[in-house]
């Protein structure tokens, strides 16, 4: 049976020891939250605050060298800070924080594992501050952009984390553990983490400008062969491409949820003992989505890489996304089970943390916005392509699929290693 919005909020509140979403704040209470983890979710979070902040009050900070608002908008950045007043006309999911003055500090560098390990352990990590940032002008819709380069930093313990995939993919000894966290979380630390599944994210496989006209579709077997190093030449993928055209694989570093999802779905790793990564001699490792996009746009147009649909391609990008098994990448196709590259993401909270009353409301409201199909429909319209669906465990989907009610028709049951099983219609 599907949960409604209030039931989902209650479940999240119970998970973090908070009360259910309450009445709107009577005063402009300050509320701040530090969030680490997924870089794929950065543009989704950005769109949330564009939708839920009072027009004209939003200031957005990025680790960027942009000198103009246009360059800032076109760029990436893996650290973000948002300050604003939460809109009083926000939907029910955000009503509890309406009128609050927000500071939301977000880190995507290092990927999803930073939304898991530091949250569970309560360990401080590097976060950006607003010191030394430069106002580069107005960006749509009614926000002021600040470019921060070089960034000033502070060591901060995250309040919450977001992981593209379930935290279990970062437990145990497996290829998803980076050098920064060489020791797997022990059982005691795992017990300190409360992951709450909240959204289906859709990912894509991009190919560079020199091959995109010839490579518009790849089978899962071909993707596997490229990622594990069996194929190293584009001629092996499509004989129309000249032999000797080396494939450059733009990968994310270990710890990335984007990479962990691809490892599980295409390489069966760490899902099975037989799963492998292979040896890719032309792999370029990227610590963030923004550098992976630069990798896809470069390398003489001969690259292939993985990224969320929320991240592009944008107008300035030269790469293109391919179909997988003859099915185009889209939120609709992922929801209905015909497109295979999707994951179910989690918001992670720490069991022993004493959140303030306003932080508890903000966490609940965020989870509500992220999980509510009406909110996600609005978020999708602001992305390069619709990229997120609500979970079928929480809401009933439409048949046929409706962009106004983006809900998956099935589920992986909380495990990226499990097949996507249709539950509807």
Q: Would you say residue 340 lies in a domain? A: no
Query: pTM of the full predicted structure?
Result: 0.88
Please compute, for residue 6, the number of CA atoms within 13 A of its CA located in the half-sphere on the CB side: 2
- Based on the domain organization, do 103 and 137 belong to the same domain? yes
- Based on the domain organization, do 174 and 269 belong to the same domain? no
Distance CA 304, CA 170 (A): 25
- Based on the domain organization, do 75 and 207 belong to the same domain? no
Q: Would you say residue 38 lies in a domain? A: yes
- Based on the domain organization, do 22 and 103 belong to the same domain? yes
DSSP-based helix, strand, coil % in the chain, nearest 5: 30, 25, 45
- Based on the domain organization, do 274 and 373 belong to the same domain? no
- Based on the domain organization, do 295 and 309 belong to the same domain? yes
The average pLDDT across 3-25 equals: 39
For the chain, give the percent of residues with pLDDT over 90: 64
Distance CA 22, CA 25 (A): 9
Last residue of a domain, one of 335, 369, 390: 335
Q: Would you say residue 342 lies in a domain? A: no
Q: Would you say residue 415 lies in a domain? A: yes
Residues of the domain holding 315: 202-335
Q: Would you say residue 256 lies in a domain? A: yes
- Based on the domain organization, do 208 and 189 belong to the same domain? no
Mind listing the pLDDT tens digit for each residue in 334-376? 999 999 999 999 999 998 767 888 898 888 888 888 788 988 9
CB 245 within 8 A of CB 208: no
Distance CA 312, CA 295 (A): 13
**pLDDT value of position 368:** 80
- Based on the domain organization, do 59 and 160 belong to the same domain? yes
- Based on the domain organization, do 233 and 365 belong to the same domain? no
* Helix 5-16 and helix 357-371, axial crossing angle in degrees, nearest 10: 140
The continuous run of DSSP H or E covering 80 comes out as strand 79-85
Q: Would you say residue 367 lies in a domain? A: yes
Residue 114: name the closest of 178, 175, 60 by CA.
178
Q: What is the CATH number of the domain that holds 295?
A: 3.40.190.10
- Based on the domain organization, do 240 and 281 belong to the same domain? yes
Distance CA 271, CA 306 (A): 19
Mind listing the pLDDT tens digit for each residue in 378-421? 889 989 999 999 999 999 999 999 999 999 999 999 999 999 99
Q: Would you say residue 341 lies in a domain? A: no
- Based on the domain organization, do 228 and 109 belong to the same domain? no
Last residue of a domain, one of 335, 365, 380: 335
- Based on the domain organization, do 64 and 197 belong to the same domain? yes
């Amino acid at each position: 049976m599907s949960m409604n919005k209030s039931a989902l909020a209650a479940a999240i509140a119970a998970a973090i020891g908070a009360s259910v979403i309450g009445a709107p704040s009577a005063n402009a209470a300050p509320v701040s939250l530090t969030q680490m983890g997924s870089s794929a979710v950065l543009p989704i979070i950005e769109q949330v605050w564009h939708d839920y902040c009072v027009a004209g009050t939003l200031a957005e900070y990025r680790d960027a060298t942009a000198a103009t608002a246009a360059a800032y908008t076109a760029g990436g950045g893996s650290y973000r800070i948002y300050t604003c007043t939460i809109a009083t006309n926000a939907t029910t999911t955000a009503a509890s924080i309406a009128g609050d003055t927000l500071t939301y500090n977000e880190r995507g560098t290092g990927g999803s594992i930073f939304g898991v390990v530091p949250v569970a352990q309560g360990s401080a990590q590097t976060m950006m501050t607003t010191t030394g940032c430069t106002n580069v002008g107005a960006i749509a819709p009614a926000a002021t952009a600040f470019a921060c380069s070089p960034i000033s930093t502070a060591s901060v313990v995250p309040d919450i984390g977001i992981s593209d995939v379930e935290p279990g993919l970062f437990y145990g000894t497996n290829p998803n553990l980076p050098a920064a966290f060489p020791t797997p979380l022990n059982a005691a630390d795992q017990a300190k983490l409360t992951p709450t599944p909240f959204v289906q994210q859709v990912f894509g496989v991009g190919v560079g400008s020199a091959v995109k006209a010839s490579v518009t579709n790849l089978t899962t077997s071909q993707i596997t062969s490229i990622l594990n190093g069996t194929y190293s030449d584009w001629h092996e993928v499509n004989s129309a491409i000249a032999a000797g055209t080396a494939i450059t694989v733009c990968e994310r570093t270990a710890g990335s949820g984007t990479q962990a999802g691809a490892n599980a779905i295409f390489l069966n790793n760490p899902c099975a003992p037989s799963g492998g990564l292979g040896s890719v001699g032309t792999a370029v490792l990227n610590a963030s989505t923004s550098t992976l996009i630069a990798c896809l746009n470069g390398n003489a147009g001969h690259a292939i890489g993985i990224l969320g649909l929320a991240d592009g391609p944008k107008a300035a990008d030269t790469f293109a996304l391919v179909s997988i098994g003859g099915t185009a990448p889209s939120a609709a196709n992922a929801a209905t089970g015909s497109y295979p590259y999707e994951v179910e993401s989690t918001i992670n909270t720490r069991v022993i943390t004493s959140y303030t009353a306003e932080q508890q409301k903000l966490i609940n409201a965020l989870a509500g916005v992220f999980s509510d199909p009406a909110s996600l429909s609005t978020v999708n319209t602001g992305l390069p392509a619709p990229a997120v669906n609500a979970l079928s465990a929480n809401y009933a989907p439409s048949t046929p699929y409706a962009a106004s009610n983006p809900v998956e028709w099935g589920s992986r049951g909380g495990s990226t290693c499990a097949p996507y099983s249709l539950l509807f219609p």
